[in-house]
Amino acid sequence: MEELKMSHLNLELIEKLRSFQIPGEPDMITEIVGILLSTAPSKMNSLTLQIASGDLVAASKEAHSLKSSALSLGAERLGAICQAIESIAGAGMSATAGKMKADALLLDLRAEWIIVQGELHRLS
Amino acid sequence: MAHILIIDDDGALLMTVRAALMTKGHSVKQAKDGLDGLDFANKDAFDLIITDANMPGGVSGYQLVQNLRKTGAYQNVPIIFLTGRREKKDVIRALESGADDYVVKPIDYDLLLSKVDLLLKSGRVVPTANAPNSPSPSKGEGSANVQFAATWSLNVQIETLTETGLAIQSSFKVPIGFEIEIESTMFKEIGISAPKLTVIACLENPESGAGFTIETRFLEISKVDARRVADWVRAAAKKQSY
């Protein structure tokens, strides 16, 4: 994961998205930020429970879904951490090693979400 | 401008892709899963479809595309996969299911829009068995435009007969809604004239090279013939159950 090169939020992408704003419709960025702020916490809670119970296949699906939401607004580091969690299930690790890795990534994910959340609030 | 269907369970993505396509003048409909996508596709006529690969609700993007390709209306409609799955095996799986192109998330909107534009202009390129140098019956010098009714005979095998239609094994695909007439000694045995049929499904047989199962319904069958078919089917079924 080339984390240092990635942004918490890709502002260039956000500018691009602003250029797609349809006149007369609600502000798209505000709406997307609203979607991410309201759906990401429940996705992370599900992910936490799935990893705690060792269900790495379910965690992989949840991480894939959260990755998609994160990347829609250019939350690149968040997306990369989700990708790393998503890949554990198919990586051929033992259940214990997989869970340990997932636990570590989950902590990373929570920390990144706190930063992204702050930036999202500033955007909207 | 084109009428486009986007299918993805991510509400934010639906919103941004819709907006991006609308800036190019396209009209856009959004579906939140594969099942809704199939439903919308069947009720409307789209010029291009963009779909995610993994979605909740039981119908994945791969299943959706395979399903659409079996229906006449979507055999030649361009389909793009838009997904977070970036491995070569995922791209191959998408292409094998019937997709024409593949865009990986995070979305490069310029790339997506240019692919949409290109596919709408060029249409779907399906490999055909035509020899590259064989002469084609296209318009030009040495050809004449004619309008004569004609029939095309194919050898097929009737496999199932019901009171409302029959299923045929064929080496050729036939579009849904297509009207066909077949001759068979079976009709003589039943005591009816060969009925007209309409194709309601054309399913590729899973064994490679095994052709297609074409399901049909009777069209314009008289009441007397319909009764004879029903009696014959019942009698045959009874015989088979012994």
A64 in contact with B at a CB cutoff of 8 Å?
A: yes
Measured CA distances, A64 to A38, A58, A111, B10, B79 (Å): 17, 10, 18, 11, 22
Query: Residue B142: its pLDDT value, please?
Result: 64
Query: In angstroms, what separates the C-alpha of A22 from chain B's closest C-alpha?
Result: 7
CA B39, CA A77: separation in Å to the nearest integer? 36
Nearest chain A Cα distance for residue B23, angstroms: 6
Q: Which residue has the higher pLDDT, A93 or B47?
A: B47
pLDDT of residue B132: 44
Question: Residue B158's beta-bridge partner residues?
Answer: B168
Q: Does A58 touch chain B (CB under 8 A)?
A: no
Could you report the per-residue pLDDT of A35-92, keeping only the tens digit for each?
Answer: 999 999 999 999 999 999 999 999 999 999 899 889 999 999 999 999 999 999 888 8
Residue of A nearest to B9 (CA): A65
Q: What is the mean pLDDT of each run of 10 residues along chain B (242 residues)?
A: 95 94 96 94 95 88 93 90 88 92 92 94 63 47 66 77 85 75 87 84 68 82 85 84 64
Span between the terminal Cα atoms of chain A, in Å? 29
Rounded to the nearest 5°, which phi and psi values hold at B142? Answer: 80, 15
CB nearest to B10's CB, from A31, A69, A79: A69
3-state helix, strand, coil in chain A (%, to 5): 75, 0, 25
How confident is the model at residue B206, as a pLDDT? Answer: 67
> What pLDDT score does B182 carry?
84
Neighbours of A37 (CB within 10 A): 14
| B50: number of Cβ within 10 Å | 29
DSSP state of B193: P
Residue A50 in contact with residue A63, Cβ under 8 Å?
Answer: no
Which is more confident, A4 or B185?
B185
Q: Among all residues of chain A, which has the CA nearest to that of B85?
A: A64
- Rounded to whole angstroms, the Cα distance separating B195 from B193 reads 6
Q: Which residue of A has its CA nearest to B18?
A: A20
Do B135 and B203 meet the contact criterion of CB atoms below 8 Å apart? no
So what's the pLDDT on residue B134? 42
- pLDDT at position B15 is 94
Count of CB pairs separated by less than 8 Å, A with B: 60
What does the pLDDT read at residue B152? 66
What pLDDT does B131 receive?
40
Q: Closest approach of chain A CAs to the CA of B21, in angstroms?
A: 9
